[in-house]
Amino acid sequence: MDDAVATERPGPVRAGVVPGSRIALYAAAAVLVTAVLSAAVVALFGVNRVFTGVLLGGVLGIALLVALFRRDAVVLTEQGIERRTPWSAQPLAWERVVGGRFTLDERARWALALDLTGDAELVLLSVPPVVRPVGNAYEMRKREQVQQVRQLLREKRIPITVLPEIATALQRHWRLAPPAR
């Protein structure tokens, strides 16, 4: 009985594509933290502690990188959409969503995006073209995200346009039914 309740009301769906400029900023911040902490340990404890400094700096740099990427997301809930970055959160109402589309992006990847009022778009997912059944954890996570987003959009009665070749591949390889019209 708990499983039926869980499938009827999905929790918040995390999605979002981090732009390249923010990826570079996050990587630079992680490298800077690693370098500063490594230098600080060496300065405080001597040159014999270089390995310790690099290890400590690397661990904290990676922790910072993970925290930044974890915070940078689009969260879809029953109440609305929240576009988050590490330094801000912008709520969007479902009423601003005109429709959704699953098409090719400029890098020949499949992009699931929402069209918003005011000629704006919000990219939720970008996945490599599906050419085989799920073969690894990354593909399984992307399949789950596509399924969760499509289910939530279906519940919100937001029309989704899917290119025929994408719909065919999703159905054939990932066993995701095409959206109901």
AA letter at 31: V
Res 11: pLDDT: 78
- Are 41 and 103 in the same domain? no
- Residue 9 — pLDDT band, cuts 50, 70, 90? low
How many residues are listed for the chain in this entry? 181
User: pTM above the 0.75 mark?
Assistant: yes
Which of 67, 63, 65, 95 lies closest to 79 in space, CA to CA?
A: 95
Contact 112, 102 (CB under 8 A): yes
- Are 90 and 141 in the same domain? yes
Copy the structure tokens of residue 102: 């699953």
AA letter at 96: R
- Are 63 and 90 in the same domain? no
- Say if 5 falls within a structural domain: no
What domain count does the chain have?
A: 2
Q: How confident is the model over 115-161, as pLDDT tens digits?
A: 999 888 899 999 999 999 999 999 999 999 999 999 899 999 999 99
AA letter at 22: R
Range of the domain at 50: 20-71
